[in-house]
Amino acid sequence: MTTTCFDIFAQCSEAVHKGELIESVSSKDKEFHFQNWFEKRLSCLALNFEGSGRNTYPDFSLVKFTEGYEVKGLAWPGRERDYDSNSQVPTGQHNGRQIFYVFGRYTADLLPYPEADNGRRQYPVVDFVLCHGDFLNADHEYVHKNKNVKGFGTYGDIMIRDRKMYVAPTPFALTEGTTGMMTLIVPEGFGDDARFQVVGRLTRIEADSLVVGYTFDLRTNEIKAERIPNPRAGTEHRFVAYRLKSQAAKPVVMAGHLPQPLDLGNGDDE
């Protein structure tokens, strides 16, 4: 299979090794810190891509390859076991493209590097994982849509918008051996590259039941999930963890327990 993920991972690893720092956009906007850093890596490889934006998914869609890259920067120390996806449930395919997720952790304000010449703060990349979206969720059929219901309120003229937010585990929570390292995770048989060594073989197993709907009671503020048996329960999805041969061979294994997302019942995403 033709893929750019090995080249992109190698380019990111080289940038970390050379000390290429993340540069803040502003003191208030942290969304594009790591995203801009990753964009420079694509430019170094002369890969043409369609531009990113706040409402674009994935963040980068390659032009000559049917691949897309969604970038998630995580401040460290901080929230790292899961992340918010405000527009799309994680998946390994979208609009005919293979989707990869790039998780990069960088030091938070506790240990910032000196300011750059332009006055912006700079941060080193602590570790990162580039993984195929199927490692997070192998369902390619679900289509995200926001719906609404009208007629709410005393006078019946208020609309309730159902704007979904998905909270998914990060590879740092799903695995052991990725902390402080740079790791590439792709499906088994996805491809191979002589520059890389295998550092782990990972298996994710489909759950016994599937959530196919939910109801919300406006009187009690209770939300209830509707579940059905998963016809593919127990199906194994196998993945391979790689690193460059020049990098440490520290093994990567699945975590001993399934991470549970934070209960953000108050809507707070911090």
> What is the pLDDT averaged over residues 147-152?
94
> For the packed helices 33-44 and 5-17, what is the interaxial angle rounded to 10 degrees?
110
Lowest model confidence (mean pLDDT) among 13-17, 79-83, 145-149, 212-216: 79-83
Residue 225, number of CB atoms within 10 A of its CB: 11
124-138 average pLDDT score:
95
Tens digits of per-residue pLDDT, 153-190? 998 999 999 888 899 999 999 999 999 999 999 999 98
Q: What is the pLDDT of residues 5-54, one digit of tens each?
A: 999 999 999 999 999 988 877 655 555 688 999 999 999 999 999 866 66
**Mean pLDDT computed over 195-218:** 96
- Of 193, 91, 136, 40, nearest to 49 (Cα)? 40
C-alpha distances out from residue 191 to 185, 188, 210, Å = 11, 8, 30
